[in-house]
Amino acid sequence: MAKHGKKYRAALAKVDRNRKYSLEEGLAKIKEISFARFDETVELTVWLGVDPRKADQLVRGTVVLPHGLGKTKRVLVITQGEKIKEAEEAGADYVGGEEMVERIKSGWLDFDAVIATPDVMRMVGQLGKILGPRGLMPNPKTGTVTFDVRTAVQETKAGKVEYRVDKTGVIHVPIGKVSFETEKLHENARVLLEAVARAKPAAAKGRYMKKVWLSATMTPSVVVDETAYAR
């Protein structure tokens, strides 16, 4: 098993493993212990009391983070007709129809998000095995299959993120960069936690939000007090 380096161990020594930090304290601690030479991504991890094997306990949705993620997503819109112009005017980086589908089949993946209109989903469906494993497949539940192309592009550019429970009942979502002011990270995290709390399935029994952690790309995790958001 690989051992952690000296910088990681030094960061870990600054974390009280026997306490739960408030959200703001936890974010301040992550900024304090960050040691990488690049601007690390801050991630929020939430362990939910749901059984993701049951369809009525899946937790999934999207939320627009008020301060974004620290980088502008490259958005591809697959559509046709007048919606091509709408997508271009909204700021999409790449726009097209069948030629974009063929380009992706040939190995092109130089984008961060894909939006499609319902009338081209027969073509887009051919990309399931390519886009699906990468979390890029358009889906009506996340607002990426829509005729309202303008809103979808603008929200994605503004910092819309998707949260989805994995097979272990855990959600992992980026909320910004270490370089962000603590207040901005706090607001992004709060908006996300409130969205996850509202998404509690009616079929979920017992404690819903079991545990919350914060971490950056290279840092140890910090346990956050979830009681303000637990339902």
In the chain, the largest separation of any two C-alpha atoms, in whole Å, equals 59
Q: What are phi and psi of 104, to 5 degrees?
A: -65, -40
Return the pLDDT at 73. Answer: 87
Per-residue buried b or exposed e for 1-31, using 16+ beta carbons within 10 Å of the residue's own CB: eeeeeeeeeebeeebeeeeebebebbbbbbb
CA–CA separation, 58 and 53 (whole Å): 8
CA–CA separation, 60 and 150 (whole Å): 23
Return the pLDDT at 1. Answer: 42
Whole-number average pLDDT of the chain: 92
Output 80 or 159, whichever has higher pLDDT.
80
Return the pLDDT at 2. Answer: 54
- 212: burial class by Cβ within 10 Å (0-12, 13-18, 19+)? buried
Band (pLDDT 50/70/90 cuts) for residue 106 is: very high
- What pLDDT, in 10s, does the model give residues 44-96? 999 999 999 999 998 989 899 999 888 888 999 999 999 999 999 999 999 99
CA–CA separation, 177 and 190 (whole Å): 15
Task: Please say whether the beta carbons of 221 and 21 come within 8 A.
Answer: no
